[in-house]
Amino acid sequence: MPIDTRGMIVDFGTHVGQRYTRLPVGYLKWMVNCGHSRAAIAQAELDRRGTVTPDLEVSGHALDRASLKCLAIWRRTRKGPEGLHAWLVRVAREALDQNRRDHEGRCLYLGMKFVFEEDLVWPVLKTVMPA
């Protein structure tokens, strides 16, 4: 039976006292991705909202770094009208799938180094830089 989150109140952290139905999507996704003790409730609320969880997440820092350091690679390797975020999600997934790592565990792909946090439900691209 699915969890009904409509009357549930958060009993921990920053959002204590708030209804799960009022929590930001990003916070709910974080709860699910890190395996929080209330992850099942967070997932139920995401499901209720029809929110799809990603198979790979790109941090704001990684997007900023790509926009400052990797635009030439983006211009050369993007597909059609692919924007920077969509491109970064695609090439980060390809980098993980290639699984070519340097001595520090960074993925090497298309002349870039990708740093992931991978011990989560879905990987998070933390940063990217030219190789």
Instruction: Examine the domain organization and report whether 61 and 41 are in the same domain.
Output: no
Instruction: Examine the domain organization and report whether 18 and 72 are in the same domain.
Output: no
- How confident is the prediction along the chain (131 residues), in pLDDT tens digits per residue? 789 999 999 999 999 999 999 999 999 999 999 999 999 999 999 999 999 888 899 999 999 999 999 999 999 999 999 999 999 999 999 999 998 999 999 999 999 999 999 988 999 999 999 99
Q: How many CB atoms lie within 10 A of CB 59?
A: 16
Instruction: Examine the domain organization and report whether 66 and 126 are in the same domain.
Output: yes
Instruction: Examine the domain organization and report whether 49 and 63 are in the same domain.
Output: no
Contact residues for 66 (Cβ-Cβ < 8 A; gap 6+)? 74, 84, 88, 128
Domain limits for position 111: 57-130
pLDDT at 65: 97
Instruction: Examine the domain organization and report whether 73 and 9 are in the same domain.
Output: no
